[in-house]
Amino acid sequence: MFVLVNLKAYPCDPVAVAGAAADVADESGVRVAVAPQAAHLERVAATGVETWAQHVSPVDHGSHTGSTLAEATADAGAVGTLLNHSENRLRLADVDGSLRAAERAGLETVVCANNPRQVAAAAALEPDAVAVEPPALIGTGTPVSRADPEVVTDSVEAAAAVGDVPVLCGAGISTGEDVAAASDLGAEGVLLASGVAKADDPRAALEALVEPLR
């Protein structure tokens, strides 16, 4: 299982969270990655944790003020990027453009989608993985694996029908039980944010998340 922690723009210490994630990954053998703000990528990567960008823009080098260049995120230490998160939606053409930009820079990709139909459309663009996240459950602490498990199983089937694209389970993931349930439903990883970024003790939260995977 892959545990990808999105720090969003929460007022946490990204380096402290990253250091805790690196330690938990080393001790448990579970793949854990952290996606900080773009300005924090280099400092987070310096901790040794697997570092992801929250977004890259569908642009190449050139006159693109305000864009997040894929090559710049890779230079800062990122090895992957999220795309099309529900808080940063893209048009289909831009999802494809951002995927090609990430591919050009050697970044792994996870495209977010709201439901199984969107999962199928995203999988057809050939990302490395798709994350299904019903927006209504994001940040609620109620995981989709419990609220509507068919969203996960149907998303796994939808992605498999298009090609060999792994599915991550997002929205409301906050405990080890949630991670285990996502795995039982066919997900190959989880995408979460507030369960770690807003925790009083991020290391303890991470340890609890990976406990069922040891």
- Cα–Cα distance measured from residue 148 to residue 126, given in angstroms and rounded to the nearest whole number: 26
Catalytic residue among 40, 103, 133, 188: 133
Where do we find the tokens 């996606």? 35
55 catalytic? Reply is no
The total number of residues shown for the chain amounts to: 214
- The dihedral through the CA atoms of 24, 185, 5, 77 has a sign that is positive
d(CA 142, CA 133): 12
Count of CB atoms situated within 10 Å of the CB of 105? 18
State residue 29 phi and psi, 5-degree precision: 80, 5
Which contacts (CB < 8 Å, 24+ apart) does range 198-201 have? 198/10, 198/12
133 catalytically annotated: yes
Catalytic position from the list 40, 50, 55, 85: 85
Enumerate the H helices of the chain as residue ranges: 14-28, 41-45, 70-75, 92-104, 116-123, 144-147, 149-162, 176-184, 194-197, 202-210
Which residues pair with residue 111 across a beta bridge?
Answer: 83, 130
Residues with a known catalytic role:
85, 133
